[in-house]
Amino acid sequence: MSTLVGLVVVSHSRLLGEAAVALAREMAPGELAIEVAAGLDETTFGTDAVAIAEAIGAADSGAGVVVLMDLGSAVLSAELALDLLDDPDARDRVQLCPAPLVEGLVVAAVTAAGGAAREEVAAEAAAALGGKQAQLGAPVDVGAADAGEAGGGVTAEFTVANPHGLHARPAARLASLVRGLDGAQVRVRNATTGSDWIPAASLAGLTALGALAGHRVEVGVTGPAAQAAVEAVLGLASRHFDEPVAGPSAPRPAAPASTQGPLAAAPGIGIGPKRGAEPAAPVVPDEPATDPAAERERLDAALPAVAAEIRVARDTTARELGEEEAAIFDAHLLLLDDPALLSDARSAVAGGASAPRAWSDAAERVAAAWEAVPDPYLAARAADVRAVASQVLRALVGGPDLVPVDDGGEEQQVLVATDLTPARPPRSIRSGWRVSSSPAAADRAQRDPAAGPGGPGRRGGRPGRARRAGRHPDRLRRRHRRAGGRSGSRRAGGLPRPRGRTGGAGGAGAGACRGPGRHPGRVGVLVGANVGSPADAVAATAAGADLVGLLRTEFLFLGRTAAPDVDEQEAAYREVAAALGGRRVTLRTLDVGGDKPLPYLPLPAEANPFLGLRGIRLAEAHPGLLADQLLAAVRVAHETPLSVMFPMVAALDELIAARRALDTAIAAEGRGVPPGLQVGIMVEVPATALKAAAFVPHVDFFSIGTNDLTQYALAAERGNPSVAALADPLDPGVLRLVDAVCRAAGERALVAVCGEAAADPLAAELLVGLGVRELSTAPPAVPGTKQAVRELDAGRAADRAAAALTADGPGAVRRI
């Protein structure tokens, strides 16, 4: 039985209805059910309620039906058809959609073919005119399906007290609140300016309201939970949208912080040539679009990838600078999921535009709307839209985020830029740049050496001769260490050799990023890359990764209507292996569940999908999926070093069953056990860490997923901004779990870490001190992680790790 939403076309003309369906099937080929109830016969115009009811029954596979109608009596006939349905549950699964017939049907077909729910299919279809309106220069109504009058219900009003008005952060908090309300549809308007009503779930619409401090905002809510929703919105407004407010006379900056002068981004002083770092904007390729379904899939794959990048930046910022500073990333995440922006982009895709062109144009329209707001502070937030848009474009078409760092000559360089968006400084700092910001300085880039700011409130400038001379000895000592010399009186102790986990040709090539992270003349720690596609594997190789420490195989299973077969999986895994050039690939079996559902795999609704049917549990429930994946992995393992890793293992019986499935795949292939095939498990469940000794006889390695292990150990969902600050992998409780795994593994199994903590130099030192011998990070973080490992003093790392285990919190750990 299909799990896709069915469609019914109701038209006065049979020829028109069938032609519209033919066009839609061109755009969305496949098994999508589209039924036609049009005309009284081949030549007679009219609509028939009985025929419509029969068409609804034929199209309904259980996922629901969206009915599109042309005009007039077609709507009346469709309403009558609902009354003719005997099954009340079937009536509840039908949604009559007011979309334009042709454009709406095309968009609905593409959306439904992608596995969307009935409500989303109807909403996307209702907004189908957005692409045409934009092309012809007509005004595009933000949230066209929801805008208009408040429509009765409960109304209320609040006055904006935030000094900067309803800008990105408070707007993001309001949109997040509204999206979480069940049984209520919330609209708002700027009563002071007399704006139109817009859906409060749209971040783009909220910021375009231009609601400044002192403006009155009217709220209109309909639905059974309207009163509770109004109270929730007014409560948030009374708290100033959880933003600190100094008082009614709080000063407003004349411009965004990025143009206010030098920004101290790291302690110390960096000396070197100034370097301009204005990234080349990603170029939308002048290429014809493929079929709309493929372009929609391409866009839908890019969005979660960028969301993952933003969450990493948010978590890092919250951990290092605090929740208030990290809140801007919540706005960026909401932009990625903004209904008006997505509807506009997807409508353009359905109309024949490529994914990059559709996204770029839709985002630019939102940015232009922000720039049109009279208030300079709010208008400047267009930069946030363009920053997020650029991230998505880079995911779609590629391109560097920052200009490359010159590895020759000077060790440190001073980055000079007129603007740094929130997503850029963390990456810049991790890459070894010192950061300052000044519009005038950008014009002088590369003229003179510079000293970057060395702490809060310090400005960069041209250093004096004595100052330069006083700083260069540190640089010379670092060069001496890289050349194999000794610096200082302490000689670090050696690290045990990683058991059975070699990177293959990891030492090939020249440069600091090649070869395992190691002290000169001593065995070190493998540094791998976490990848989610063959393109990521290419990036991992370019970054000098010793291996793929985590291959997320979900990229093959998501965004499609059927699971990949063995041959398709084998080809994809071979492509990843080829990019690694003989280095080991650690393949994690499918890790999806209620939080990452598959449209072709019906799953029960779960109150907490993170603790539900996911990972190895899902594989046990659907053994065919695991069998195909393991067979593809075994085939590839005969040609390249490969490790198979099972996720979300909580019980030994789960691992034993998974190993039996692997044995079955090996027998089915008929070539014996592949040489070098290794088996391991993800350690994400605290109980697994505490009983790791029971797993040791059955594994070659453990890979600790610090992201999930942290959120489970601290009962703090990492995607929830309200508790994200608690989910700190440097919490002593989490470190004790890592220590338990390392102690149990001893010399019998390697312990790896593939979570975000692996890219944090401070965390990396503690992890190595505890006994971790492989760190796997995002590809861009590989060189920095290797350098951090090379500079470790093993004895000091062990001492600090031991002290961290008895600390009273992550703050104390950082102070050790």
Of residues 259 and 96, more confidence is placed in 96
| Alpha-carbon span 595 to 756, nearest angstrom | 19
- At residue 480 the predicted structure's pLDDT band, cuts being 50, 70 and 90, is very low
Q: What is the pLDDT of residues 295-345, one digit of tens each?
A: 888 888 888 888 888 887 777 776 655 666 676 787 788 778 787 788 888
Mean pLDDT of 721-750: 92
Q: Pairing state of beta strands 449-451 and 271-276? A: antiparallel
User: From the CA atom positions of the chain, what is the Rg in Å?
Assistant: 29
Q: Which of 698, 611, 712 is nearest to 658 (CA)?
A: 698
pLDDT of residue 727: 87
Tokens 């001893």 correspond to 746
State both tokens at 542. Answer: 């370019």
CB neighbour class for 163 (10 Å; exposed up to 12, middle 13-18, buried from 19): buried
Mean of per-residue pLDDT scores for the chain: 77
Are the CB atoms for 263 and 454 separated by under 8 Å? no
State both tokens at 532. Answer: 């989610």
DSSP 461: B
Are the CB atoms for 649 and 615 separated by under 8 Å? yes
| Alpha-carbon span 721 to 713, nearest angstrom | 17
Mean pLDDT of 116-124: 85
Greatest C-alpha distance within the chain: 97
| Alpha-carbon span 38 to 101, nearest angstrom | 12
Helix, strand or coil for residue 235?
helix
Please enumerate in sequence order all residues whose Cβ is within 8 A of that of 577, keeping only pairs 6 or more positions apart, or say none.
Answer: 585, 636, 639, 640, 642
Q: Which of 354, 304, 335, 350 is nearest to 121 (CA)?
A: 350
Q: Pairing state of beta strands 216-222 and 185-190? A: antiparallel
- At residue 147 the predicted structure's pLDDT band, cuts being 50, 70 and 90, is very low
pLDDT of residue 185: 87
Euclidean distance between the first and the last CA atom of the chain, given in angstroms as a whole number: 59
pLDDT of residue 662: 96
Element (H, E) at 35: strand 34-38
Q: What is the pLDDT of residues 38-60, one digit of tens each?
A: 998 888 888 888 999 999 999 99
Of residues 816 and 168, more confidence is placed in 816
φ, ψ of residue 89 to 5 degrees: the values are -65, -40
**Residues forming beta bridges with residue 525, ordered by sequence position:** 517
Q: What is the pLDDT of residues 427-459, one digit of tens each?
A: 444 444 454 444 444 454 444 444 444 433 333
Please enumerate in sequence order all residues whose Cβ is within 8 A of that of 739, keeping only pairs 6 or more positions apart, or say none.
Answer: 770, 771, 801, 805
Residue 99 has pLDDT above 60, yes or no: yes
Q: What is the pLDDT of residues 362-378, one digit of tens each?
A: 888 888 877 776 666 66
- At residue 201 the predicted structure's pLDDT band, cuts being 50, 70 and 90, is confident
Are the CB atoms for 643 and 677 separated by under 8 Å? yes
Domains along the sequence of the chain with CATH: 6-126 (3.40.50.510), 147-242 (3.30.1340.10), 274-470 (1.10.274.10), 530-815 (3.20.20.60)
Helix, strand or coil for residue 241?
helix
Tokens 């603007």 correspond to 419
**Residues forming beta bridges with residue 529, ordered by sequence position:** 548, 777
CA atoms within 13 A on the CB side of 189: 16
Are the CB atoms for 580 and 504 separated by under 8 Å? yes
Tokens 């990048």 correspond to 309
Are the CB atoms for 63 and 111 separated by under 8 Å? no
| Alpha-carbon span 628 to 342, nearest angstrom | 34
pLDDT of residue 71: 78
**Residues forming beta bridges with residue 576, ordered by sequence position:** none
Element (H, E) at 616: helix 616-621
| Alpha-carbon span 735 to 770, nearest angstrom | 8
Q: In 619-638, which positions are buried (b, 16+ CB within 10 angstroms) versus exposed (e)?
A: beeeeebbbbbbbbbbbbbb
Q: Which of 554, 792, 608 is nearest to 717 (CA)?
A: 608
| Alpha-carbon span 656 to 744, nearest angstrom | 19
Helix, strand or coil for residue 163?
coil
Are the CB atoms for 484 and 493 separated by under 8 Å? no
| Alpha-carbon span 712 to 735, nearest angstrom | 13
pLDDT of residue 132: 58
Q: What is the pLDDT of residues 378-435, one digit of tens each?
A: 666 778 888 888 889 888 887 554 444 444 444 555 666 655 666 554 444 444 445 4
Q: Which of 216, 209, 223 is nearest to 142 (CA)?
A: 209
Mean pLDDT of 547-573: 92
Give whichever of 25-29, 287-291, 325-329, 550-554 has the largest mean pLDDT.
Answer: 550-554
| Alpha-carbon span 238 to 720, nearest angstrom | 22
Residue 702 has pLDDT above 80, yes or no: yes
Helix, strand or coil for residue 702?
strand
Q: In 417-436, which positions are buried (b, 16+ CB within 10 angstroms) versus exposed (e)?
A: bbebbbbbbbbbbbbbbbbb
Instruction: Give the number of residues written for the chain.
Output: 816
Q: What is the pLDDT of residues 624-675, one digit of tens each?
A: 999 999 999 999 999 999 999 999 999 999 999 999 999 999 999 999 999 9
Strands (E), 130-212: 154-159, 185-190, 198-199
Q: Which of 559, 565, 558 is nearest to 110 (CA)?
A: 559
Mean pLDDT of 596-605: 72
Q: What is the pLDDT of residues 738-793, one digit of tens each?
A: 999 999 999 999 999 998 899 888 899 999 999 999 999 999 889 989 988 988 88
DSSP 467-514: HHHHHHHHHHHHHHHHTT---SS--PPP-PPPSS---SSTT-S-STTS
Percent of the chain with pLDDT over 90: 33
Indicate yes or no: pTM above 0.85. Answer: no
Q: Which of 154, 143, 151 is nearest to 229 (CA)?
A: 154
Of residues 554 and 266, more confidence is placed in 554
Q: What is the pLDDT of residues 494-529, one digit of tens each?
A: 333 344 465 543 333 323 444 555 543 344 799 999
- At residue 697 the predicted structure's pLDDT band, cuts being 50, 70 and 90, is very high
| Alpha-carbon span 596 to 315, nearest angstrom | 20
DSSP 65-132: EEEEE-STHHHHHHHHHHHH-S-HHHHHTEEEE-S-HHHHHHHHHHHHHTT--HHHHHHHHHTTTHHH
| Alpha-carbon span 682 to 753, nearest angstrom | 9
State both tokens at 705. Answer: 């997923």
Count CB-CB contacts under 10 A for residue 133.
15
Q: What is the pLDDT of residues 705-721, one digit of tens each?
A: 999 999 999 998 876 77
State both tokens at 706. Answer: 């610090």
State both tokens at 653. Answer: 């019986």
